[in-house]
Amino acid sequence: MMTVLVRRVRDSFKRKCFVGRVVRFAADRSGNVAMLFGLAVIPLLIAMGGAVDYGRWLHAREQTVAGMDAAVLRGARALQTNSEDHAAALAAAEKFYEENVKTRLTLLSDTIAFEIADDGTAMTTSGQAWIATTFLHLANIDKLPLLNGAGADYSKAITGTGQNLELSIMLDVTGSMSGQKIDDLKAAANDLIDIVVSDDQSKYTSKVGLVPFADAVRPGRDYLNKVRGNPQGTSRFQDANGRWQIYELTDCVSERDGTGAYTDIAPVGEAMLGPVYTRTGTCNPSSQNAQNPQDPVAVVPLTSDKDYLEQRINGLAAEGYTAGHLGTAWAWYLLSPNWSSIWPDSGVAPYDDLKTNKVAILMTDGEFNTQYDTAGIATRENGGGAKNGLSDSQTRAICENMKQTSIKVYTIGFDLREGKAIETMRLCASTPEQAYLAEDGEQLRQAFRDIALKLSALYLSN
């Protein structure tokens, strides 16, 4: 009996508990929260997934941009080595890009391509890269571009002066350069000017000076008396036959002897440049055939005025013999801080200025065959009576001393046939790799371009 009663009480208790639970469930309003959460889950997933997609996009973008930068620099460096082989430069850029994006996330597409620009002196990028989304497709965004379509992200490696550049160019304008050869020289020199003289001189300066030479060098009216003084107007002497000759003073200068020989000390006192006397009072480089009437084929001190440099180059005329030692010496003088008072507007840097790259280019097409005696009269062939010896031996001595400074010397022999001239050019260059031999106009142009590109450091511009 007691057992039956206990069972009934227990069953009644269970029924009451069940009814209570049902009543409480019916009265519960917490299902509204679940419904609201269900409605919000999609935007929340999109927001959280968007953060994931953004991280993936940012990582892929950074690798892509870095890969493009590295690739254009590598391709442009290949152009510096051989500016004519565009295919090799493009292949180098493409390979470098692939190497730099190896670990990048898999992309939906990548059409990044490389192009040669600015007449072979720069490399640029084009195309686009897309990454697929993992969560944002819920918001109908299936892919994201990695690059700014406006162009700000597209790399361009261009040549410019990674440091200040002071460059002097010795230009052979002797009679053997007449005709096509002088035209080839003008084209080659203008190419170099276009490459090395930057339009933007705000960060680094790039200045070029010109030294046209033939029988002698013409300093120009602004500098002539500063470097030569005021010698007498005529030179009276006896020739080899014992006849008296009277030669007239010209606007050209010859070498100096004594303590100034083969050096770049300032032209003061006994270190003044020697005069040049001729029968007619005229000298070469000649002003008679030049296009610029102001200071025709005279020396041009360092300047960054590209238009002026090209104007002076285009005004060159070919005539006369070859006093290469004078052209060499003047290429040095334009770069020498010891001569800075002669042309203060050039702002010539000291030799120990680590921010400035000083370079001389010596170009000639023939054997050096003219030098001067103590009277300022030219001597030919074996140099009988020459005060400092033969022109080529003087050139070698000047080059040797110039290379003891911070100046780098490049040489270009144009259609050279004489072994002695080739050897002089080889000895004058700072290294064997800096001595060029060009057989025709195209090779001459290539030599100037190669030097120009080597002098121009690469930098990125976006």
| Segment 139-196, tens digit of pLDDT | 788 899 999 877 778 888 876 556 899 999 999 999 999 999 999 999 999 999 988 8
Q: Could you tell me the CA-to-CA distances from 87 to 49, 94, 98, 294 in Å, in that order?
A: 43, 11, 17, 46
pLDDT of residue 24: 52
Q: Any residues with CB less than 8 A from the CB of 141 and at least 6 apart, and which?
A: 133
pLDDT of residue 278: 96
Report the C-alpha gap between 355 and 163 in whole angstroms. Answer: 5
Largest Cα–Cα separation, the chain: 170
Range list of β-strands (E), 69-174: 109-110, 113-117, 122-126, 129-132, 143-145, 156-160, 164-172
Among the listed residues 283, 346, 355, the one whose alpha carbon sits nearest the alpha carbon of residue 319: 283
pLDDT of residue 203: 81
- Half-sphere CA count of 372, side-chain side, radius 13 A: 25
- Half-sphere CA count of 433, side-chain side, radius 13 A: 5
Q: Any residues with CB less than 8 A from the CB of 178 and at least 6 apart, and which?
A: 318, 319
Point out the residues of the chain with pLDDT beneath 70.
Answer: 1-49, 159-162, 287-296, 381, 383, 457-458, 462
Report the C-alpha gap between 180 and 174 in whole angstroms. Answer: 13
Pair 262, 387: CB distance under 8 Å = no
pTM of the predicted model as reported, rounded to 2 decimal places: 0.73
Pair 290, 278: CB distance under 8 Å = no
Q: Which amino acid is present at 443? A: Q
Q: Could you tell me the CA-to-CA distances from 338 to 31, 140, 332 in Å, in that order?
A: 93, 72, 10
Range 175-180 contact pairs with CB under 8 angstroms and sequence separation of 24 or more: 175/214, 175/318, 175/319, 175/320, 175/321, 176/318, 176/322, 176/365, 176/366, 177/318, 177/365, 178/318, 178/319, 179/318, 180/441
Q: Any residues with CB less than 8 A from the CB of 375 and at least 6 apart, and which?
A: 235, 237, 277
Report the C-alpha gap between 350 and 356 in whole angstroms. Answer: 9
Report the C-alpha gap between 266 and 341 in whole angstroms. Answer: 9
